[in-house]
Amino acid sequence: MARVLITGGAGFIGSHAADALLGAGYEVRLLDNLAPQVHGGARQRPSYLNGDMELIVGDVSDAPAVERALRGIDMVLHLASAVGVGQSMYHIEPYVRTNELGTAVLLQALAKHPVERLVVASSMSVYGEGLCRSAEGAAISPDERSVDQLRRGDWELCDADGRPLQPVPTSESKPPSLSSIYALNKYVQERMCLITGKAYAMPTVALRFFNVFGPRQALSNPYTGVLAIFAARILNGRSPLVFEDGLQKRDFVHVHDVARACLLALETEYANEVFNVGSGTSRTIISVARDLARVMGRPDIAPAVTGKYRAGDIRHCFADLEKSRTLLGFEPRVRFEEGLDELANYLADQIADDQVEQATDELLRRGLVA
């Protein structure tokens, strides 16, 4: 069976993808820098990694480490990335170095020794605002909300005449609208991989992940997925902080489904394609905060609605899965309620260093929250 390199393979999504690949009979090698923000300061091999996985501790922007990791490899799943919209707006150079330069270093090595297939993790953030429908029923790609609108607390998307727009599932055909450095990074990553893959006859697929949740997500990283951020607050007896009015809609997809999508992308006959990976359903942020507190046994902890906004945030975005179902054969299997129960069981014996207030203060100090 083929040997697969997973960059960022010791992390949340990478480790679950590695489990799925091992279960399907692949040999798996991981390249990961064990970043302290994700893994803590000890930089030790995570206990959840299967012993059959080879781990190379190194950075994707380090050419010798990448060359070493690619030896004898048949396929690459490129997940290594600095993640987080808010932090990307002030840690600009580190985000560009990891996400864009790191991808360039990987592709430079692959240009010399192409593999059988390359899969790269992109993000729903490349869409900016999700697709909407006008009062007349026309599909609309909304403009970004203006600063004046946000300062008024007028959160919803409207057309040029001030009429409300109805959010609808967003397909891969929607033009990108890059509202954060992280969104720009992810779009650059996917385009670099697709361009290089086509040039070197290396079949390449980009997967646009929506809001991924599940066990192993870093609880002490205040810029990780929103469910993990909320969980860290609740574990410490504090209210989850919800921006705007909490009615913004997102698509939450379980990490087991995401891992299976990675496997499908490595095995599909299609190349030079982009696929959504989500649940195909939408939930408001405030309802998710309440549901999480309930399954964690703390229904008394209500979310705190801040009425503030963050630079780079969007209002609504959830996935249209028609293309992924038809071409990739992807169908989400884990119901949101089942995934929350599994997450609650995982959280029962976890300790979280809640750094959300410090992170929010940093954004406030820099004028990125108002």
Q: How far apart are CA 207 and CA 117, in angstroms?
A: 14
Amino acid at 146: S
* Lookup: tokens for 366: 């820099």
Q: How far apart are CA 224 and CA 245, in angstroms?
A: 21
Closest CA to 339 of 225, 180, 243, 263: 225
Q: 10 Å Cβ neighbour count for 171?
A: 17
Active site residues: 182
Q: How far apart are CA 78 and CA 5, in angstroms?
A: 8
Q: How far apart are CA 9 and CA 15, in angstroms?
A: 5
